Structure 1
């Protein structure tokens, strides 16, 4: 964090936007302009993430300038850890920037790389999350194993969409105690960087019911990257085609695994704008 940006938010507070995609909720901070160079220390992220004493979020996202893209996005999880990608936050921010610029398409840079985003019509925003990563070392896994049937009870599939995912196909997602099942697999030794955990049920031709435990956030109502990973896993296993509809706890997304990457589309919501007070920041940072 630059001294100038730190001094400014200590003096005047920190403007933010609250957004969500299917209930997967975000605090979004625009660090273009006067707040250029601002980074959010884990202690401040944890304080903002507190749903009783702060604002609450599944992920925190920062928008910054980028010389070769329309914006650069970085993400933090609710536990203060970093995340290379966040599909629903990317869609929410894309919707905001598309409206701001009055355009139909843009490119966003994340740690995942350059991602294309576009209007989908009728309140829908579409993002290309890039090609799935299926090499065990790049996911990453702790050792070379079959990523299409991991040596874990249930034979889940491993996929990276910039962050690691472990997808289980089950007969009934409602029967899974995700509060126990999720953390047990998030911290499985096969995943040295932890993993997102999905339980998925095929409910019809090219339709999936999915629930998710997110690394660093816990049970969430939806997850964009998890939806992409689950769609890719279902196609790899021959359970669906490459374009599927996913019904999550918070709503419905459509994922289309194309030659140019995995496209995800769905609705977004910009809930409110606000300012985190200097007193709150001072207490969080000490």
Structure 2
């Protein structure tokens, strides 16, 4: 079976998108997702995105990290899919319903209302989440938030001095996070301006993480570091995050289609 795909990225966080809304695709498993994502023997991506019909909404978006695991949310992929869809849509994800709207060169996404309770992150046992009474080496007392997927955010003096390549995997897989966690190190670098690096659960260091930008901005707003509109600079570029206590998060930023192609399904099954 020959299947078309679209290669896209949001600030360098890249995706292979399979559109199953009008064609029947075989079931996607971990091995298949991992094979497609492999940058040496597959197409290569941080995440595989599969679009499917939805009974109650415009369509469903499924997200598979490069390790093959299926996850709840991906902000950068949401903007890419908005660009591909070409008009406003309400989209079903494993992390909840999101609303997409294309803009010039990208998209604006309603990412839903963040959750802060320990069992909504989720954590393995009850504790404060802002801050958490935990630390890993020099990274201590993070804040935890679920923005469709779980995040911890550390505010540090210098994001580039944080050894995320070594500490990230340890924190991601710590038993206190039964579903794993995305690890963010953030730095206030100006008025309403954050610098951010992210170790993504199941993908490792990426050039950008939309849900990480949402998580860092929400935590910074709650702490009083910034106002309700925040510029978040990632290695791949900038996002704008807007949030007010009790409301949904609004993420706005670019997305790009890189190229299109096709492959034989059985070559990766």
Residue 24 (str. 1) matches residue 13 (str. 2): yes
- For the Cα contact (< 8 Å) 2:63–2:73, is it kept in 1? yes
Deviations 1:218-238 (A, max 9, x none): 000001111111111111111
Alignment correspondent of 2:225? 239
1:118 maps to 101
Q: Which residue pairs with 1:8 in the alignment? A: none
Counting helix residues as a fraction of each chain, which structure ranks higher?
A: 1
Q: Normalising by structure 2, what TM-score?
A: 0.94
Match of 1:13 in 2: 2
Q: TM-score, normalised by structure 1?
A: 0.89
Matched, 1:150 2:132: yes
Q: 2:69 aligns with which of 59, 81, 102?
A: 81
Offset, 1:56: 1.3
Q: 1:81, CA displacement in angstroms?
A: 0.7
Runs of 4+ in 1 over 3 A off after TM superposition: none
Partner of 1:72: 60
Query: Does the 8 A contact of 2:194 with 2:233 survive in 1?
Result: yes
1:112 deviates by 2.1
Which of 245, 248, 253 lines up with 1:261 in the alignment? Answer: 248
- Match of residue 39, structure 2, among 42, 51, 57: 51
- In structure 1, stretches of 5+ residues that fail to align are 1-11
RMSD, matched Cα = 1.3
Match of 1:272 among 247, 250, 259: 259
Query: CA–CA distance in 1 between the matches of 2:27 and 2:194?
Result: 37
More deviation, 107-116/188-197: 107-116
User: How many residues end up aligned between the 2 structures?
Assistant: 264
Does residue 125 of structure 2 align to residue 136 of structure 1? no
Segments of 5+ residues of structure 2 without an aligned counterpart are none
1:279 Cα deviation from its structure 2 partner: 5.4
Look at both structures and tell me which one has the larger radius of gyration over its CA atoms.
Answer: 1
Find the aligned partners of 2:147 and 2:27 in 1 and give their Cα distance.
24
